[in-house]
Amino acid sequence: MSSNAITATLARLINANNNITEAEASNSPKNDLSTTFPLMAIGDALDMGHADDGTPLIDPRLFDSPEFARNPYPYYRIMRDHYPVYHDKLHNCYYISRYADITDCYFDDQGFNTIPKGSSSGVLGNTQLELSGVEHRRRRNLYGQHLVGKSLANRLPSIERLAEQMISAWDEKTNTDFIEDNNGVRTIELGRAFANEFPISVVCQVLGFPDEARTDFYYWYNSMMSGLGGSAGHQQGLEARQHLEDYIEGLVEERRTTPGFLYDNDGQQLGKDIITKLCESKIDNDYLSTEEITSNIALVVGGGGETTRGAIMNIWYLLLQHEDQLAEVIKDDSLWDAVFHETLRHSTPIGGQPRHNSFDITLHGIDIPAGSLINMVDFSANHDDRVFKDPETFNIFRDDLYYGKLLRSGYAKDGRSSHMAFGVGPHLCPGAWISHQEAAIGSRLLSKQMKNPRLNRQRMRKDIDGKNLAPLGLASAREVWIDYELE
């Protein structure tokens, strides 16, 4: 797990004004920013003035505005073209926005080695997010090895089984505020019906939590994620983590003597659960303490929810607006991998990763003192037209995106490049592979259930004109209302 768990959540919190309507903007506590930075047509940037040489200027107050949260990509284009390293003096940080530069920084484990100190430890505990080099690799591999290769393959039956159980339960939840049947047509809100809980259920099971702990698990996850970043929910996040640690303490003691296992659809053992594996792991010839195990679990809990939830929501929000592509995917299940990758390139729920530089550097003529806060803007890298043609266009058949297995080394070959949603290099999110499988398997099973799916546009959030659908901007879709035929 990398800092993606934190950055995904911080993006969700910071960009809470995303997908806003004109009325909401006028009632926003940041109404002064809404006036200074009016909401533009998607793809158009506000003119903030020009330097003497004609270079467009950037007012750093923009980054706090509803306009930027809703319509970021024309501003990222200005940054890439004119300010590849932008010094934001208002927020005391630097933004790196080009794909190639971000890639180089991610691979430089000495120059850009950690996320900012203290940004994760408050709620998540003593994790390896803020470590680098050998110490980071040793701790990351303690659980990362259980989310790839054969270990991941052993978890796929559980993922599929949980998805099928959640979808089959819809019949028992009709006439609720998120599932409604009317004249042979079912309307669901995808988040509450499936995407919000599905990835948390998967994480709960593969870790080795008993089924009866699932309700508590949802509380721990939601509270801890809401408590990141010094938010108003920080105290609740700390309390939730303490509850989690208290529960895990007993579970760990049990697993130290009685291993827990994963099972296939026939009830056959596939392998030990992650908590059991962590109980058997050693560092410097010493078994992990309960606190260390809890911290690793907290990372998996954090990273296993928001990213996958956002990916599933965005997949369906985008596909249902591109009916020709959806039709091809329904005919060919193998295309779900392409859908996943293009969705994370086009509208990733993960905005980027913050870093501190270890020593003074100069990049594109900008001096960055050691210890500065540097934001690697994955949003921008994924829309860099030096790498991806027509980057604002959603196209699962594009010929410049790599659709294969996620690689820590990244992929850049024969005109194809990997997206940056999970980063690359030493801090590539080790949960990337299981997130991919959850989103692809869950979406495939959803497509089998939903006959002739289409967006219920009446219930969907609208843009400033009150007619067109709201853009995703810097956040994942909050709600996706879908109609489909029952017969």
Residue 61 has pLDDT above 80, yes or no: yes
For residue range 245-279, list pLDDT tens digits in order: 888 888 888 898 899 887 777 788 877 888 888 88
Cα dihedral across residues 12, 344, 297, 104: positive or negative: negative
Residue 467's Cβ-count burial label (10 Å; 0-12, 13-18, 19+) is exposed
Q: What share of the chain in percent tops pLDDT 70?
A: 82
For residue range 73-102, list pLDDT tens digits in order: 999 999 999 999 999 999 999 999 999 999
Mean pLDDT of 367-372: 93
Higher pLDDT: 154 or 166? It is 166
Highest mean pLDDT among 56-70, 203-217, 230-244: 56-70
Q: Report the mean per-residue pLDDT for the chain.
A: 84
The two three-digit tokens of residue 339, written as one number: 């859908």
Residue 368 has pLDDT above 80, yes or no: yes
Query: Hunting for tokens 């990049």 — which residue is that?
Result: 363
The domain segmentation of the chain, as residue ranges, is: 4-485
pLDDT for position 442: 96
The two three-digit tokens of residue 127, written as one number: 């994790």
Higher pLDDT: 468 or 207? It is 468
Q: Under CATH, what is the fold of the domain 4-485?
A: Cytochrome p450 (1.10.630)
Cβ–Cβ under 8 Å, residues 224 and 237: yes
pLDDT for position 30: 44
b/e per residue 332-370 (b: at least 16 CB within 10 A):
eeebbbbbbbbbbbbbbbbbbbbbbbbeebebeeeebee
Residue type, 452: N
Higher pLDDT: 371 or 59? It is 59
pLDDT for position 19: 37
Give CA–CA dist 234/216, Å, rounded: 18
Residue 463 has pLDDT above 70, yes or no: yes
> What pLDDT band is residue 3 in, cutting at 50, 70 and 90?
very low
Residue 327 has pLDDT above 80, yes or no: yes
pLDDT for position 273: 84
For residue range 124-165, list pLDDT tens digits in order: 655 555 555 555 555 656 655 656 666 667 778 888 999 999
pLDDT for position 351: 79
pLDDT for position 153: 74
pLDDT for position 112: 81
